[in-house]
A and B are shown apart, each in its own frame.
Chain A
Amino acid sequence: MNTKDIVYIALFAALMAVLGVFPPITIPSLGVPITAQSMGVMLAGGILGAKRGALSMILFLVLVAAGLPLLAGGRGGMGVFSGASAGFIYGWIVAAYVVGMIVERSWGKLNMVTAAGACILGGIVVVYAMGVPWLSVTASIPFMKAFMGSMAYVPGDLVKVVVATGVILTVKRSYPLISAKA
């Protein structure tokens, strides 16, 4: 881990914070707000790779826990880590790692399909796989109810996958930070 790695990890943690400030877009037909923040998770993994991506998520969450209101909607402090939706937030760490791992593995032949696949698997499947059971257990609501309730956010996440995929592919061409792995 050299200086450059540390700086990039810090930069993406800061980028997460900035993405949280962008006003959420509400799509009328869905009725749920879409924030840019969870796109930062896909970008961190897809641009920095598994290890640095996950570390930048941890760094970001440490600052949130330390009391900076950096989560979308100005939430912050230690309260968010014991709340009902905390599982999604913890999921970001694993999500960035998984996105990064898939992107690294397919680096040589990274294209629209593999990059989007990485974002969907890491940025959506992993996040919900951690968030929904947490919600279900801590709030004592049946798994299926928690699952159905969370599904309202998936269309918004798919929009983020499209943008993140484009950004990851463009960065690979113009400013690559990941080296190929077998």
Chain B
Amino acid sequence: MISLYHPAQSLIHSIAAGHKVLMLLILGTVLFQVDRLEILVVVAVVVVACYGVAKIPFRLAFKQLKPALFLLAIIFLAQIFILGLEAAIFVVLRFAVLILAASLVTLTTMMSHMIEAIEKGLSIFGHWLPVAKISLALSLTVRFIPVIGVMAEEVREAQRVRGMERNVFALAMPLIIRTLKMGTEVAEALDARGFDSDDETDAKSRTS
């Protein structure tokens, strides 16, 4: 499984995943309150400096921004005509800073730590949320992605033999049906191994 994580030893890598997400949320909220370009430039410099601290190569940092560049360019051009040059720079820079800051969190946090942080965050709401079920769903999905990927490739091969590889319906239909069949089998296997999802909350209320 390919993730966006960039392994390195740094201060930013060592901050707990949950804390990084919290800081990002605060930054996002604050940035939309800021209305002065000077402050924004300072924040931008700090964020870029953090990339240096985290030892992330420039190319990788730029790659995070690349998918958004086209949209940012359109927004920039539209803004110049509507609100003028300074506002255009402001809006585009704010987006760039947010995207870079969020990407920094992603690049410096291992996926497993992130999922652990999510589960830990959820467990606060343990009384209202079925945390065990959510954990199961998360790990199942991560496991299913390559399996369905292989299935999609098999279906494509099979339809290519029939000369149907350009028929979207002939590709989608067998893939969906095979996916659903696999789902039924996996659920039965889980139940057979004692993952009793239905009784979980009842059991808790009985013991307490």
Residues in A lying within 8 Å of B, measured CB to CB:
1-4, 6-11, 13-15, 17-18, 21-22, 39, 43, 47, 59-60, 62-63, 65-70, 73, 75-85, 138-142, 145, 149, 163, 166-167, 170-171, 174-175, 177
Contacts and interface: CB of A to CB of B under 8 A. Distances in A.
A7 B140 contact: yes
Contact of B4 (A22, A47, A68): A68
A66 to B, nearest CB: 4
26 contacts: A1-B133, A3-B187, A3-B198, A6-B137, A14-B145, A17-B141, A18-B145, A18-B152, A59-B138, A66-B118, A67-B3, A67-B106, A67-B109, A70-B145, A73-B67, A78-B24, A79-B68, A79-B101, A79-B102, A80-B102, A82-B102, A83-B68, A138-B95, A141-B82, A163-B169, A166-B169
A47 B172 CA distance: 13
A47 to B, nearest CB: 7
A93 to B, nearest CB: 15
A98 to B, nearest CB: 20
Contacts of B100: 79
Given A67-B111, A81-B102, A140-B83, A11 B179 contact: yes
Contacts of B159: none
B138 A77 contact: no
A168 to B, nearest CB: 9
A62 B118 contact: yes
Contact of B3 (A69, A75, A82): A69
Interface residues of B, number: 69
A37 to B, nearest CB: 13
Nearest to B147: A14
Most B Cβ at <10 Å: residue of A6, A22, A174, A177: A6
Contacts of B64: 77, 79
Contacts of A85: 71
Contacts of A175: 177, 180-181
A83 B197 contact: no
Interface stretch (B7-15, B52-60, B73-81): B73-81
A83 to B, nearest CB: 6
A2 B4 contact: no
B99 interface: yes
B191 A77 contact: no
Contact of A69 (B4, B114, B180, B182): B4
Contacts of B136: 6, 10
B42 interface: no
A129 to B, nearest CB: 19
B115 interface: yes
